[in-house]
Amino acid sequence: MTDSPVKSKSPPELSVLIQKDEPVPPATLDDDSLAIGSSGMAGLFHVEDQRLVSAKRLIVLVPNWDVDEVEIARQVWKLAMPLGLAVLFLGLCTDITEELSMHRRLATLASLTRDPRLSVDTRLEIGRNWMRKLKAILQSGDVVVCHAEQRVGFWRITLREQLSKLNAPIWTLEGIHPPMKSSAFAKTKEAIFWLVSIVVIVVFFWLQVSIVHMSKDWAHSVLIYLSMLSEIGLLWIWHSVSM
């Protein structure tokens, strides 16, 4: 990255952009954040637990699909360089068989972004839930960077929407990668998820029908409510571990 003749914007220009609530192309800013510049010094600030906190680090979420490493590194460098933010590339893979390829991708991104003036690190986690992994490492002053095309969960909501529950500002990279394409392994996992969900619903439906044919005493109502709560609980747990 240091060899590329990239001319970054000066801190005062970046401050004006964010104060006007305009996105930093091609990334967009999603939080009650503002940039403050004075005496030639600028920094990104956001409200955190009713306190004004200065941004210190970018946590860049790296999905387990083919991405344009060069373009991502370029955009992350443009975001981090003017404010002197540290960078952490956080990768998430659903299976240990994907670890090697993810390690290579993270190493490539770090190499392309690395600059004598920037601190760049990588971290790889196993799982499917970005929220859990982020909560474990999120610190005061962190800014999360994700892809606009990423979708997660049962209802396939955007990752940005899910991450909005975190007490941290979100920057979204747009147009770098086309919408996610499911691999054969991902499709198999999705099929298993739906199969187990349907089995749970059918079993509890049969159980509730059996309870209805029982005598109409107080135990009847208790068993109906217990079965409904158990069904909802099992489906919620299964959905949580499958994300």
- What is 121-178 written as a DSSP string? EEEEEESS-HHHHHHHH--TTEEEEEETT-EETTTTEEHHHHHTTSSS-EEEE-SSSP
- Report pLDDT digits (tens) over 57-111: 999 999 887 778 899 999 999 989 988 899 999 998 877 778 888 999 999 999 9
User: Has domain 11-173 been given CATH number 3.10.20.90?
Assistant: no
What value, to the nearest 5°, has the Cα angle with vertex 65 and ends 60 and 67? 65
Map out the domains of the chain as residue ranges: 11-173, 184-242
Dist CA 114 CA 217 (whole Å): 71
pLDDT single digits (tens) 135-159: 899 988 899 998 877 777 656 677 7
Cα 41 versus chain centre, distance:
30
pTM of the model: 0.59
The encoded tokens of residue 46 equal: 């956001």
Handedness of CA 171, 173, 178, 183 (dihedral sign): negative
Tens digit of each residue's pLDDT (9 = 90 or more) over 175-233: 665 555 555 656 677 778 788 888 888 888 888 888 877 766 777 778 888 888 888 88
